[in-house]
Structure 1
Amino acid sequence: MRIEYICRHCRQKVGQLNQPHWTMADVDVRLGLGRLTPAERLESVQMDTYDDMRVYTVCSYCENALREHPELLLEGKLLQ
C-alpha cells in the first residue's frame, strides 16, 4: 500500500510511505488512523482506484502561516 500525505491547504506532497504488505488494519494501528472519528476519516483520508491512500494534513509552511495569521481561515482559502 502506498500512503501519501498531502497538505489540505496548498496541496503540496508532505511525504509518502510505501508498505506493500500493509493492510488497512496495519495502517489504522501503525499510523493512528483508527483513532479518527468517521467524520474525521471522511475529511482526511481518501483511497484512489489503485488502492493508494491519501492522508490530508497541514504542511509546516501552512501551519506557520495559520499560526501567524489565523484570520486566513476565515477567508475560505489559506493560499490565494
Structure 2
Amino acid sequence: MLRYVCKYCGQNLGRIDLNQVDEVRLGLQSLTPLELKSIITFELNGDMTANIICEYCQEALEKNPELSLISNPLQ
C-alpha cells in the first residue's frame, strides 16, 4: 500500500494498492535517493507513505511564503 499524506496538515489524500501498480508506473525510479528519502517513508509492514503537499497547504504557502521557514507551519 502506498498512502499519500500532506506533510504539513497530515490530511490523508489517497492510497494505491502496490499489488496493482509497480514503481515504474508510480515514477519512483525517477527520484534520486535523496528525493526518495525526503518524500517516501517505508513502514515495517512494507507499506509506504508519500509525504506530499495538499492543495490547501500549497495555496497557503504560495500566499504566505514566509510560512516555509517554520518547520510545521500549518498544523
TM-score bracket, normalised by the shorter chain, equals: 0.7 to 0.9
* Match in the other structure for 1:32: 27
Is 1:49 matched with 2:48? Answer: no
TM-score normalized by the length of structure 1: 0.83
Any unmatched runs of 5+ in structure 2?
none
Measured in 2, the distance between the counterparts of 1:30 and 1:16 equals 14
Alpha-carbon deviation of 1:33? 1.1
* Match in the other structure for 1:72: 67
Any unmatched runs of 5+ in structure 1?
none
TM-score normalized by the length of structure 2: 0.88
In percent, how many aligned pairs have the same letter?
A: 37
Aligned residue-pair number = 75
